[in-house]
Structure 1
Amino acid sequence: MINQLRPGVVRTVKVTGFDGADVLVKLVGAEGEETEIGRIPRQEASMRRVEHPSELFDVGQEINAEEIGRWREGQLHLSARACEIPSLRSFLLALERGQVVAGTVSEVHNFGVFVHIDGEPDGLCTGFIRVPDLTWGWINHPSEVVEAGQRITAEVIITETRTGQVTLSLKALQVDPLIRFADQAGQVLTGPITKIVPFGVFVRLAPDVMGFLHLSELTDEPIETPDQLVDEGELITVKVTEVDLQRHRVRLGAAGEADRT
Structure 2
Amino acid sequence: MDWQAENPELWAFLGSLRRGEILSGIVTAIESFGVFVSLDDGPPHPLYPGVGFITIPELSWGRFGAASDVVQVGQRVSGEFLQFDTWNAEARLSLRAMRPDPFYAFAEHATVGKELHGHVTELVPFGVFVQVANGIEGLIHRRDLTLMPDDDVQIGDDITVVVTHVDRERRQLLLSRQTTSQL
Compute the TM-score of the two structures, normalised by the length of structure 2.
0.90
**Do the aligned residues in 2 keep the contact of 1:188 with 1:255 (CA within 8 Å)?**
no
- Using a 3 Å threshold, how does the CA distance of structure 1 residues 169 and 123 change in structure 2: closer, same or farther? closer
Summarize the alignment of residues 185-196 of structure 1 with structure 2, pairs less than 5 Å apart.
Answer: 185-186=111-112, 187-196=114-123
The amino acid across from 1:236 in the alignment is: I
Q: Deviations over 1:116-138 (max 9, x none)?
A: 11122135521111111011110
The amino acid across from 2:111 in the alignment is: A
The residue matched to 1:121 in structure 2 has which SS? Answer: coil
Give the corresponding residue for 1:244.
Answer: 167
Asked which structure has the greater RCO (Cα within 8 Å, sep 6+), the reply is 2
Quote the offset at 1:208 in angstroms: 0.4
**Aligned-partner Cα distance in 1 for 2:89–2:102:** 33
Give the corresponding residue for 2:103.
Answer: 178
**Do the aligned residues in 2 keep the contact of 1:82 with 1:162 (CA within 8 Å)?**
no
**Do the aligned residues in 2 keep the contact of 1:82 with 1:163 (CA within 8 Å)?**
no
- Using a 3 Å threshold, how does the CA distance of structure 1 residues 126 and 251 change in structure 2: closer, same or farther? same
The residue matched to 1:189 in structure 2 has which SS? Answer: strand
**Aligned-partner Cα distance in 2 for 1:123–1:211:** 40
In structure 1, runs of 5+ residues without a counterpart are 1-45, 47-79
Larger radius of gyration: 1
Compute the TM-score of the two structures, normalised by the length of structure 1.
0.64
Let me know the Cα RMSD of the aligned residues.
1.7
In structure 2, runs of 5+ residues without a counterpart are none
In the alignment, structure 1 residue 131 sits paired with structure 2 residue 53: no
Give the corresponding residue for 2:156.
Answer: 233
Superposition misfits of 4+ residues, deviation over 6 angstroms = none
In the alignment, structure 1 residue 158 sits paired with structure 2 residue 80: no
Summarize the alignment of residues 14-25 of structure 1 with structure 2, pairs less than 5 Å apart.
Answer: none
Identity %: 38
**Do the aligned residues in 1 keep the contact of 2:115 with 2:180 (CA within 8 Å)?**
no
**Do the aligned residues in 1 keep the contact of 2:80 with 2:93 (CA within 8 Å)?**
yes
The residue matched to 1:212 in structure 2 has which SS? Answer: strand
Quote the offset at 1:184 in angstroms: 1.3
In the alignment, structure 1 residue 97 sits paired with structure 2 residue 19: yes
Aligned residues: 178
**Aligned-partner Cα distance in 1 for 2:121–2:63:** 9
Quote the offset at 1:243 in angstroms: 2.1
**Do the aligned residues in 2 keep the contact of 1:96 with 1:156 (CA within 8 Å)?**
yes
Name which of 192, 197, 200 aligns with 2:127.
200
Give the corresponding residue for 2:43.
Answer: 121
Give the corresponding residue for 1:144.
Answer: 69
